[in-house]
Structure 1
Amino acid sequence: MHPAAAHPAAPAESHSLYPELDATALTAFATALESGDAAGLPPARAADVRAARASAVFSRGKVTGACGDLLDAALWRHTAPGPRAVVVMPSPWTALGWTAYAVQAAALAARGYDVLAYTVRGFGRSDGQADFAGPLDVADGRRALEHLLERAAGPVTRIGFLGVSYGAGIGLLVAAHDPRVDAVAALSAWGDLGEVLYENSTRRAAAVQALLASAGRARLSPETERALEDVLADRDPEGTLRWAQQRSPSAHVKEFNRRRVAVFLAHAWHETVFPANQTLGLFGELTGPKRLDLSVGDHCGPESAGLLGLPSPVWTDAHRWLDHHLCGAANGVEEEGEVRSEVMWSRALEPSAALPAPGGNVRRLYLTGGAPPAGFGGLAGEPEHGWAAGVLCGVDTPAAAADAVVRSGYAEMAGLPKPYPGGEIGAAAAAAVTAAWAGDPAEETLRVRGVPRLRVTYRAANSGSTFVAYLLDLAPDGSARLITHAPFSDLHSPPDSLIGADIDLQAAAYDVPRGHRLLLVAAARDPFYGDANLPRATLAFTSPEPTPSYLEVPVG
């Protein structure tokens, strides 16, 4: 372990993964569901309470989970004896517990479902210790389903799980283990927890710190706390990855596919907690009914409004998914296509059958030498060899993934993405603090759709090295906006050796306007990641003749 890597710096962040949730409003709504007195609620929420109470009996109680632990829960139960579909909702990573779902669960009850929402172990008023979607959480989900089935007034036709964030991951894992589950709607879930913790062998320190900080007074199991703290302390990555494997829905794809479980996933492009590619990887491996919504924003941002009862395209799609696959509703879900992308920053919606969109192509741009004092190298149609671009380690740069975990995405949703100063990036490149390569001005709108890929060679003086690659949209006035990025670490090459890095940047749907340029930046330090560099060491990027360095951009 390198001395500088043990305690990576982290950006300022909220102590909640869901900063827009209004605990007071949600608690008042839940209280009105129980009492029937909705006088203090806004008119729309009061109407929701009346509709839910007219459809189903609401009650609070406890579910007996694994090891006899009691889980705080709420039940919406119809008393008519006819056949009915049911939905189970495990709570997010918050002390609010099932209350976070009060509005949405009531809406499902009004649509005819029996619904059980419960607070996962270790959080809020539930017993036990948080297992981070481990075997105890899976057992709890199955016990919650049994609790609901035992209280149904008539035959249960089909079964679904619906969750946000932590509850979404638990829902996917229960569906993988329980053959009774027919459909899942998982919003802001993870597919591969190992990639959440280590992206391209790089510790995702800020995401882990956010998980620990937002746990608040939750009771984490010693195994969970140790795994997360090991990431921050840069120790035992193999053990952490083994722990994460068991908790990864992607490890159970064969079971999803064998039973053709209908899976709806929703995710944000610039996720700072669960990066998008690992969820896209799960989606790509599913062969049963599936759908993916990709939206502007960050973790749970696109669905937060819906949790409060406000209009939300993601929640509308989730309801329609369950209606179709649990109740047989002919609502056009299958005809809408498998992927719905929200383009940055226009918010235009693009349905397609895959990502990248069919009929697209890949544009290869080779990295070429720099031209001081501007600082930028080039992105060209032909390779150029013999150049070198140095990057100083241990120094903050104008290129950073975001200003804050989660909250930066809310600014993006408001049409205010983080500005990047192109001039400062160029000056940093001229000073060898970063390396940067700019393409020619676009002759027409460049529609980036999918996963950009970077193949680059660099020399590291030490046995451990890390850099972060950023792809930006550089405007004629020198301002820039982030399209996507990804980190890379090499932990095993001998000192002073040439290292070939093949990196998938995070997927994007971004329109680069006419006259703007693509800007690729490499920096050795980003506060979102733990790095393996020694302070003041240098990484030297180059492009050998046998293996030229290039960027591949998927163009829709």
Structure 2
Amino acid sequence: MASAGLYPELNEAALAQFVTALEGGGTSTLSSELADEANQARGSIEFFKCRVPVDPSPAEPGVSVELDAAVCMPRGSGPFPCVVMPAPWADLGWVAYIAQAAKLALKGYIVLAYTPRGFGKSGGQVEVGGSLDIRDGSAVTDFLLANLPAADPSRIAFLGDSYGSGISLLVAANDPRVKVVGALSTWGSLFSAFYENDTQHTASVDALRGAAANARLSERTQWAFDQMQNGDNISDELRDWADERSPLKAVDRLDRSDLSIFFAHAWHETLFPVNQTLELFNTLSAATKLLDLSIGDHSSPEMSGLIGLPNRIWSDAHRWLDYHLKGLGELDGNTVVSQIMWSKTLESSPDWDAATGTPTRLHLTGPVAGATDGGLAEKPLNGWSTVLATGTDTPATVAGAIIKTGYAEMLGKPKVYPTAEISRTDAAVWTGEPLTGTAKVRGIPGLRLTFQPSAANAGFVAYLFDVAPDGNASIITHAPFTVRDASPGEPVVADIQLQAAGYDVPAGHRLMLVVDTKDPFYGDVNEAGGKLTFSSPEGAPSYLDLPLA
């Protein structure tokens, strides 16, 4: 049975059976990989379930909470390094980690995996990485050290995927006992993740709410989700709520010389877009850090590891733990590893700047006689304008489906976009000449667009495509933009960053920039029947800055 919601490939039934096998049950229903691991673990490690009590907080006087948890640990007196694993955003809680917890225990780690408050069999209400979740992480650490004499208090890591990764970073920022963090598919700024360029990520919030249908959301969490889904304005109160839950806002406490952080992220992340995590990564200067970037979407690159299969991301996370908690192995000095679309080539760089190409400016031009598309040219050609109607979607979209499209990308089957079917009435399109060589896009493209909205509130989504000679395209990157309370008819200059990309555009293909006004992934502030008029005046020319290696 596959898990619904954020983890479509996660086999909950197999993981539950793995737990049963560790408790002495059979393995006949497990895959050969999980059956072998369960049989090995039963003879070599200890496994038990437990409840972790959390003292009442000042915000909840008299309210005690117990968190559902489990321990996998080596036999022996230790001392052993410890790994605490807050579970992802899912009903099954800590069970999601059981295969990885057993692997780590077999390697000599004490692992305590727990279900965050409000989910599964844990008490309390969902706080989305709030202060109570941070207190819970420290309480779990207290419990581990108080009840497991073999635990080494000087070697503690927090390792989590998705929701568990954000909690791990926030706990590390507030508890100096944490020396290593593994943050897979994480967030740096929760506000930027859900309001990119002031545009609501409605599909992200819908996905989170759907996956938490059985969870117990606090009143404050429900309020925040309501605001992000339906609110017309971005209030300071909502921004404060998000900032309180953002590792980037705690970077002064997170950036410690005695802390080592392993990040893993997907290029086409639709839940927590990559740029906001990159900002956190690049802000860290004292902490030791590594960033693994992969083809796919939220949690998809590391998902096969959760069901016990060999997996590059989890292997890299294990090596990170081995080096920083055990002194085993070597690090090569590179801090960024990029898996390039679609060749899957791995490129390593000493830092993000070294991984980034040199900006090459492509000027947006108007269509030549008889053409519908503008051009992408080396030299500016100002004085043109292009008008598009608002309120109608086109085949240009972020993805086919949140998260699920990323699994096809990992198999080398990215979504195909028929560019000829994109209405030039409902979208503005600029197409470059066929490339004479491979264009290696490495980094964060910049886009400047000057436009005049016909209404006070207006927005668009910009997509950069790789177009094959047959006219079908793959998406390289994208970004939304929203302006509120503008003066209708007056020019607005949008200077935005598209999401970072590691992408090879083959020779003979074309680059295509498409801008439309509606996408099912984002909130739409445009009025039906309105217009956006794009131009490139002398004082504010429109262009695309493409980082090319």
Question: For the superposition of Structure 1 and Structure 2, which TM-score range results when normalised by the shorter chain?
Answer: over 0.9
Alignment counterpart, residue 369 of structure 1, candidates 359, 366, 371: 366
Matching residue of 1:6: none
- SS of the residue 2:124 aligns to: coil
Alignment counterpart, residue 535 of structure 1, candidates 523, 528, 531: 528
CA contact (8 A) 2:356 2:442 kept: no
Distance of 1:440 and 1:202 partners within structure 2: 32
- SS of the residue 1:59 aligns to: strand
Which deviates the most, 186-195 or 346-355? 346-355
- SS of the residue 1:237 aligns to: coil
Distance of 1:264 and 1:346 partners within structure 2: 24
* Shift, 1:240, TM fit: 1.6
* Shift, 1:317, TM fit: 0.3
* Shift, 1:358, TM fit: 5.2
Matching residue of 1:87: 83
Matching residue of 1:104: 100
Distance of 2:234 and 2:45 partners within structure 1: 48
* Structural mapping, 1:402-551, within 5 Å: 402-425=399-422, 428-429=423-424, 432-551=425-544
CA contact (8 A) 1:60 1:75 kept: yes
CA distance 1:151–1:53, change in 2 (3 Å): farther
Alignment counterpart, residue 35 of structure 1, candidates 12, 21, 24: 24
* Structural mapping, 1:381-420, within 5 Å: 381-420=378-417
Matching residue of 1:4: none
* Shift, 1:15, TM fit: 4.5
* Shift, 1:84, TM fit: 1.6
Distance of 2:246 and 2:527 partners within structure 1: 32
Alignment counterpart, residue 274 of structure 2, candidates 273, 276, 288: 276
* Shift, 1:311, TM fit: 0.9
Matching residue of 1:265: 263
- SS of the residue 1:28 aligns to: helix
CA contact (8 A) 1:66 1:136 kept: no
Matching residue of 2:15: 26
CA contact (8 A) 1:78 1:153 kept: no
Distance of 2:357 and 2:16 partners within structure 1: 48
Distance of 1:554 and 1:195 partners within structure 2: 22
What per-residue deviation string (whole Å, max 9, x for no partner) do you get for residues 235-278 of structure 1?
45222211000000111111122344101000111111110111
Q: Sequence identity of aligned pairs in percent?
A: 49
Distance of 2:468 and 2:439 partners within structure 1: 13
* Shift, 1:66, TM fit: 4.7
Give the residue type in structure 1 aligned to 2:505.
V
Unaligned runs of at least 5 residues, structure 2: 57-63
CA distance 1:463–1:260, change in 2 (3 Å): farther
- SS of the residue 1:284 aligns to: helix
- SS of the residue 1:226 aligns to: helix
Aligned residues: 537
Matching residue of 2:175: 178
- SS of the residue 2:292 aligns to: strand
* Shift, 1:440, TM fit: 1.5
* Shift, 1:79, TM fit: 4.4
Distance of 1:437 and 1:92 partners within structure 2: 41
CA contact (8 A) 1:356 1:451 kept: no
CA contact (8 A) 1:78 1:152 kept: no
* Shift, 1:39, TM fit: 4.6
What per-residue deviation string (whole Å, max 9, x for no partner) do you get for residues 403-450 of structure 1?
11110111111111111112122xx12xx2100111111111000000
Give the residue type in structure 1 aligned to 2:283.
E
Distance of 1:363 and 1:30 partners within structure 2: 53
Is 1:231–2:228 an aligned residue pair?
yes
Distance of 1:145 and 1:514 partners within structure 2: 54
CA contact (8 A) 2:73 2:108 kept: no
What per-residue deviation string (whole Å, max 9, x for no partner) do you get for residues 284-330 of structure 1?
1111210001101111101110000101000000000011111111x
Q: TM (normalized to structure 2)?
A: 0.95
- SS of the residue 1:173 aligns to: helix
> How large is the Cα RMSD of the aligned pairs?
1.5
CA contact (8 A) 2:33 2:309 kept: no
CA contact (8 A) 1:80 1:153 kept: no
* Structural mapping, 1:19-168, within 5 Å: 19-35=8-24, 37-67=26-56, 68-154=64-150, 156=152, 157-168=154-165
